[in-house]
Amino acid sequence: MKRYVEQLLEDLHHAKDRKPEEPDYRLLKTGYEDLADDLKYIAAWENAPDQSMVELFGISPEAFPPSEKLTPGQQQQLVEGIFSLWRCWNISPTIPQEAP
């Protein structure tokens, strides 16, 4: 299982490189050309296509082993790898305190 977790961590790391280029939304709608630079992310967000995390990252949930097959250290490594990937893509998760 150790090597498999290492490979998953490598996949998570390489998924950071698959971040798509942000389209220039000023070309899509009138009015966007006047947006201040610090507001352009709003136009990008509201015009972004709906995509699943599998489509974005190329890693399916089935690739992750059940938590009971992982040591606590491996679980922590994978959680940190996922959160690192999300930060790279500017995804800010909200995790309830009760979540395992």
Please, which residues have CB within 8 angstroms of residue 33's CB and are 6 or more apart in sequence?
26
Cα–Cα distance list, 35 to 21, 44, 89 (Å)? 19, 11, 22
The reported pLDDT for the residue numbered 79 is 92
The separation between the first and the last C-alpha atoms of the chain, rounded to the nearest angstrom, is 21
The reported pLDDT for the residue numbered 26 is 63
Distance CA 29, CA 18 (A): 26
Q: Per-residue confidence at 34, pLDDT binned at 50, 70, 90?
A: low
- Where helices occur in the chain by DSSP H, the ranges are 2-15, 40-47, 53-57, 72-88
* Residue 92, pLDDT above cutoff 90: no
pLDDT tens-place string over residues 42-70: 777 777 777 888 988 899 999 999 989 99
pLDDT tens-place string over residues 68-82: 999 999 999 999 999
